[in-house]
Amino acid sequence: MTDKLIEIEQNRLRSIGYESVVTPFSVEIDESLVQLNIGNNTCILTGIRLSPDDVLSNKHEVVINSATESLQFSQQEIATLGTSIYKLMKEYIIVRTTDENEYSGDVAIPPFRLDFVKITPIKSDKK
């Protein structure tokens, strides 16, 4: 599925005169609010990595937003998805993690990792 989404995005970029570079990257989420500006890149969310303790407690809820996608899951629900998450995100990514008292800003959260594939457009030399 990831390969198909990459191919679709590369074809879209090619149709408007750009080639692309595809690279994997991960973001460690260790704060209750994390904001990423991804500019002209397109990111495909491919997985979420939690520790076993996080999954068992199921205390936190994770909300992931971008200009094109939005997800909201408890930690146990996210853990069951594993690497079967395929969401195409553009412009920005905002990750908000809540506890049982809802979002309160500077709440300590157990760290977890989001895995992405980033598609970066580059100007084509073809004329």
Residue 16 within a domain: no
Question: One digit per residue, pLDDT tens: the chain, 127 residues?
Answer: 788 989 999 999 999 999 999 999 999 988 888 999 999 999 998 888 776 666 566 677 888 999 999 988 877 777 677 667 778 899 999 998 887 666 556 667 778 888 899 999 998 776 5
Number of domains in the chain: 1
Whether residue 122 lies inside any domain: the answer is no
Domain with 49, as residue range(s), is 27-117
Tell me if 77 is assigned to some domain: yes
pTM over 0.75: yes
**Position 7 in a domain:** no
**Is 106 within the bounds of a domain?**
yes
Determine, yes or no, domain membership for 11. Answer: no
Distance CA(97)–CA(60), nearest Å, equals 6
